[in-house]
Amino acid sequence: MPTVYLYIPFSQDEKPEELESMAKRWAITFNTKHERRELLSDNEEQPSSHDIKIATFGANKLADIQPGDKIYILGHGIENSDQICNMKLNADYLLDQKSIVQRMIADGLPENMKYKIKLYFCDESNNAESRAAQFYDALFDPSLNKHYSNIK
């Protein structure tokens, strides 16, 4: 079963506690829903939960990713902006999509390996498409000296 990484692109010094708390709740909910789905869809005995890892920027946990794993990038979307922030109210730190990609690369994001990345941000102003396009462009930006050809 693939590992699910809940990646918070803020370092411990950048106060990611609110996002870490949300990630922990998300992981419990994800496993509960998945376990229920497996029980309903298949009579065979299957593992009851995914291996879920929560990683903040600077922990270098992305280097452990294997083919087929999934990465959910967590952050608070900002209304009328393509940036994300560390806290819903009184945000101290903002990141654009290129900065997120740079942080993922610094944390060991493997190149030339097949895995999925999903952006999981609040999006009150419907900027999801714009954020996704900017993330994609940054991920394949040749100036970053990486080639991520197999990512979905």
pLDDT at 37: 45
pLDDT band of 105, cuts 50, 70, 90: very high
Residue in the structure block whose two tokens are 């979307």: 77
3-class secondary-structure state, position 122: coil
Q: What Cα–Cα distance (Å) separates residue 128 from each residue in 55, 94, 111?
A: 22, 17, 24
Q: Has residue 152 got a pLDDT over 90? A: no
* Two structure tokens written together for 104: 């993922």
pLDDT at residue 129, as a whole number: 83
Euclidean distance between CA atoms 121 and 140, whole angstroms = 21
> Reduced to 3 DSSP states, what percent helix, strand and coil does the chain have, rounded to the nearest 5?
40, 20, 45
What is the structure's pLDDT at 13?
94
DSSP the chain: --EEEEEE-S-GGG--HHHHHHHHHHHHHHHHHHHHHHHHH-SS---SS-EEEEEETTS-GGGG--TT-EEEEEEEE-TTSS-EES-SSS---EE-HHHHHHHHHHTTPPSS---EEEEEE--TT--HHHHHHHHHHHHT-GGG----TT--
Q: What is the pLDDT of residue 42?
A: 43
Tens-digit pLDDT profile for residues 57-90? 999 999 999 999 999 999 998 888 888 889 888 7
Structure confidence at residue 36 as a pLDDT band (50, 70, 90): very low
- Confirm if 62 and 71 have CB atoms less than 8 A apart: yes
